[in-house]
Amino acid sequence: MSVDMPSPLLGGRLPHLLYGGDYNPEQWPEEVWAEDVVLMREAGVNLVCVGIFSWARLEPTPGTFEFGWLDRVLDLLHGGGMSVALATATASPPPWMAHRHPESLPQLADGTRLWQGGRQQYCPSSPVYREHAVRLVEALARRYGDHPAVVAWHAGNEYGCHVPACWCDVSAAAFRNWLRARYQTLEELNRSWGTDFWSQRYGDWEEVIPPRTAPTYPNPGQQLDFRRFCSDALLECLTAERDVLHRLTPELPVTTNLMGPYEHLDYWRWAEELDFCSHDSYPDPADPGSYVDAAMAQDLIRSLRGGDPWLLMEQTPGRVNWRRRNVAKRPGMMRRWSYQALARGADGTLFFQWRASRAGAEKFHSAMVPHGPLDRSRTWDEVRQLGSELSGLDAVIGTRVEATAAILVDWPSWWALELPSKPSGDVRLLEQIGDWYRALHRCGVTVDFVRAGADLSRYALVVVPNLYMVERETATRLESFVEGGGTLAVGFFSGIVDGFDQIHLGGYPAPLRRLLGVMVEDFRPLAEGEQVGLRFGDGPVAATGSLWSEIVHADGADVLATYAEGELAGLPAITRRGGAYYVSTRLDEGGLLGMVLALCERAGVRGPLPVPPEVEAVVRSGEGRRILFLLNHGGAETPVAVGEGAEVLIGTPADGETITLEPGGVSVIRLT
């Protein structure tokens, strides 16, 4: 296979798909390290992430660095042909930091301190943490920046996974600084937060604090800004490290492992600061639908940097240790799910972790190398098989996923939507996005994600499951998308507030009224378990809504479906104005599927080829290549017509124009 497109992830340093895992040699005596490298070669590993939790070993006392062991590890790895994504080791400060600087520990809204003894025990705004982190990163960059094994930097680790927010006094001061930069004057802050409500007016900056546990709902503007501030505070930790690394080792890319649709961090902004995105994926093997959620997360990660290839930084070869019941991946599942990441734009797949720990909280988490004998390990067999397969897939590298449909997601709107004291506290953005994504997935359609305010012209279909907060620019973009012939679907309770969580007056959803041709008079959230029938035209009840309904007036829109019963009987439920559709309730699965089929039909959006629902078909293309991935998540052998001239890279050879997918099987096919 040609090797003319090295992965852009590592600046072309590795011509193969990346394969490997987190490597934590400090947990093992040195004799084991040599064996590790031999086994890595056997498994087809070419990249390991080293040092993620090594701070206490690298800097056993403040300012004293011990690099000897890491020198030996890196030399050994290099000698064995391994490349290294070297961690900045700042994910978890050593106990000495908490001991000497207790003010660096994070605090919850109710004042509870989070102590050392687990991991990630730092306040994101702590100058102590940040100064020590940057000093360590600088020392690492100077020592290893030109080590031949090091091909990338792995900053931190899953920023915010345990401590996405901190309410301590240090954070309070940082929050005030952030607010001063945003509002300049206290008057402006008072106006934006609407502090004339409940006598909340601030007369002095020092009175402003994070939204700590209060007698009742803290001010929504304050809460929303705190969410923004928390995402920014952690991002500053990342960029402080990144800046050092870019200055000292400009040729090495910097990444960090993101966590799919992670609520607390505005990943659109985070991705801008990375050289490439990495992602950790832990779908639950016990949940038959979890592979669809995994697909959604991966589509999001790919989209964060406009479709650039990304890296699956972590998945488990078998089982995790942090669910109540940790069901293992069944035979073939790890392989199939690895290919799913590749199908959705990854240029490599890594595991947590290389060798299963003997001690510590993760000793029951599967790893590439298990505790027991290798010759009796299914995991090890699967790990080696995958490594060997991936080494023959250079053609995939650098190609990009084809998608003509997109879902819009916006973090500040998500935060604002889920603040308390809403008409319904049960409207959760991820559920709404998940509904639409699953319906599109069911139709075989590959989906990108787009941010609010993005140019949408490359898509034929855009879905906005919910956009509670709409700013003018976004409304304009949506309008020009529809004017340009695009098909748009907008879900309920969208277009309600501005960027300060203040209502857009003049009839909901004021900024979208012209586009959608509707005016929403008021909201009618449904009680738990309540459903309302929907009728299309004069037909019978053909779908149901739950969770939410609205009193909708059609102001120029055609009414596609009406509520069939109750107070809203006969009033619009689903409308359409030109290419802009509005759905005022949460449709049941069948109803939404019908809607999505109609939208796809209108937009001319379809999957790469007809496949049954449990088969995923995704195409990556570029540089004259088109590569089709077929993943059979079902239990039946499935023939798929792939056309003439297809070259089967992985899977059962084609019989004429048809290939046969085994139950749970995978095919990778070069179409051109």
Which lies closer to ligand GAL via its Cβ, residue 285 or residue 486? 285
CB of 341 to ligand GAL, least distance (A): 16
Any contact of residue 352 with ligand GAL (CB under 6 A)? Answer: yes
Which lies closer to ligand GAL via its Cβ, residue 296 or residue 320? 320
- Residues 280 and 301: their CA atoms lie apart, in Å, by 10
Any contact of residue 158 with ligand GAL (CB under 6 A)? Answer: yes
Q: Which stretch binds ligand GAL (CB under 6 A): 153-161, 188-196, 207-215, 304-312?
A: 153-161
Residue 12 DSSP code: T
List binders of ligand GAL among 515-534 (CB under 6 A): none
CB of 380 to ligand GAL, least distance (A): 19
CB of 85 to ligand GAL, least distance (A): 13
* Dihedral sign from CA coordinates of 620, 625, 631, 636: positive
Q: Let me know: does 669 contact 644? Beta carbons within 8 Å.
A: no
CB of 146 to ligand GAL, least distance (A): 27
Residues in the chain: 672
- Residues 36 and 369: their CA atoms lie apart, in Å, by 9
- Catalytic residue (choose from 59, 241, 314, 614): 314
* Strand 658-661, strand 638-641: pairing: antiparallel
Where do the DSSP E strands lie in 240-309? 254-255, 257-258, 278-280
Residues 6+ apart with CB under 8 A from 129: 93, 97, 104, 122, 123, 237
- Residues 600 and 441: their CA atoms lie apart, in Å, by 12
- Residues 399 and 508: their CA atoms lie apart, in Å, by 43
The DSSP secondary structure of 304-360, one letter per residue, reads HTTT--EEEEE--SS--SSSSS-PPPPTTHHHHHHHHHHHTTEEEEEES-SB--SSS
Which lies closer to ligand GAL via its Cβ, residue 341 or residue 669? 341
Any contact of residue 280 with ligand GAL (CB under 6 A)? Answer: yes
Q: Which stretch binds ligand GAL (CB under 6 A): 127-135, 156-164, 515-523, 657-665?
A: 156-164
Encoded one letter per residue, x for contact with ligand GAL by CB under 6 A and - for no contact, window 583-612 reads: ------------------------------
Q: Let me know: does 241 contact 155? Beta carbons within 8 Å.
A: yes
The residue type of 626 is: R
With CB under 6 A as the contact rule, the residue among 1, 109, 161, 609 that binds ligand GAL is 161
- Catalytic residue (choose from 158, 382, 614, 616): 158
Encoded one letter per residue, x for contact with ligand GAL by CB under 6 A and - for no contact, window 355-374 reads: -------x--x---------
CB of 158 to ligand GAL, least distance (A): 4
Give the tokens for residue 511: 């900024």
Which lies closer to ligand GAL via its Cβ, residue 258 or residue 296? 258
Which lies closer to ligand GAL via its Cβ, residue 232 or residue 314? 314
Any contact of residue 320 with ligand GAL (CB under 6 A)? Answer: yes
Q: Let me know: does 633 contact 666? Beta carbons within 8 Å.
A: no
CB of 376 to ligand GAL, least distance (A): 24
Which lies closer to ligand GAL via its Cβ, residue 108 or residue 161? 161
- Residues 546 and 470: their CA atoms lie apart, in Å, by 24
Q: Which stretch binds ligand GAL (CB under 6 A): 155-163, 210-218, 235-243, 260-268?
A: 155-163
Question: In the chain, what is the straight-line distance between the N-terminal and C-terminal CA atoms, in Å?
Answer: 13
Which lies closer to ligand GAL via its Cβ, residue 316 or residue 377? 316
158 catalytic? Reply is yes
With CB under 6 A as the contact rule, the residue among 266, 299, 314, 550 that binds ligand GAL is 314
- Backbone phi and psi for residue 529, each to the nearest 5 degrees, phi listed first: 80, -10
CB of 313 to ligand GAL, least distance (A): 8
Give the tokens for residue 421: 């004291």
Map 107-160 to HEC letters.
ECCCCCECCCCCCCCCCCCCHHHHHHHHHHHHHHHHHHCCCCCEEEEECCCCCC
Any contact of residue 446 with ligand GAL (CB under 6 A)? Answer: no
Which lies closer to ligand GAL via its Cβ, residue 158 or residue 501? 158
CB of 456 to ligand GAL, least distance (A): 33
Q: Which stretch binds ligand GAL (CB under 6 A): 157-165, 386-394, 458-466, 471-479?
A: 157-165
CB of 133 to ligand GAL, least distance (A): 17
The residue type of 19 is: Y
Q: Which stretch binds ligand GAL (CB under 6 A): 23-31, 40-48, 154-162, 463-471?
A: 154-162
Report the half-sphere exposure of 467 (CA within 13 A, side-chain side).
Answer: 28
List binders of ligand GAL among 377-436 (CB under 6 A): none
Which lies closer to ligand GAL via its Cβ, residue 341 or residue 510? 341
Residue 211 DSSP code: -
Q: What's the CA dihedral at 110, 115, 120, 125 to 10 degrees?
A: 60
Which lies closer to ligand GAL via its Cβ, residue 320 or residue 467? 320
User: 44: closest CA among 505, 382, 546, 466?
Assistant: 382
359-380 as b/e, with b when 16 or more CB fall inside 10 Å?
Answer: eeebeebbbbbbeeeeeebebb
Q: Let me know: does 96 contact 136? Beta carbons within 8 Å.
A: no
CB of 365 to ligand GAL, least distance (A): 5
CB of 320 to ligand GAL, least distance (A): 5
User: 4: closest CA among 630, 623, 653?
Assistant: 623
User: 155: closest CA among 302, 28, 276, 306?
Assistant: 276
Q: What's the CA dihedral at 63, 67, 68, 72 to 10 degrees?
A: 170
Any contact of residue 59 with ligand GAL (CB under 6 A)? Answer: no
Which lies closer to ligand GAL via its Cβ, residue 264 or residue 576? 264
Give the tokens for residue 291: 């592979």
CB of 157 to ligand GAL, least distance (A): 5
Which lies closer to ligand GAL via its Cβ, residue 65 or residue 282? 282
Size of the site for ligand GAL (CB under 6 A): 10
Q: How many CB atoms lie within 10 A of CB 298?
A: 25
Residues in contact with ligand GAL by CB under 6 A are: 157-158, 161, 280, 282, 314, 320, 352, 362, 365
Residues with active-site annotation:
158, 314
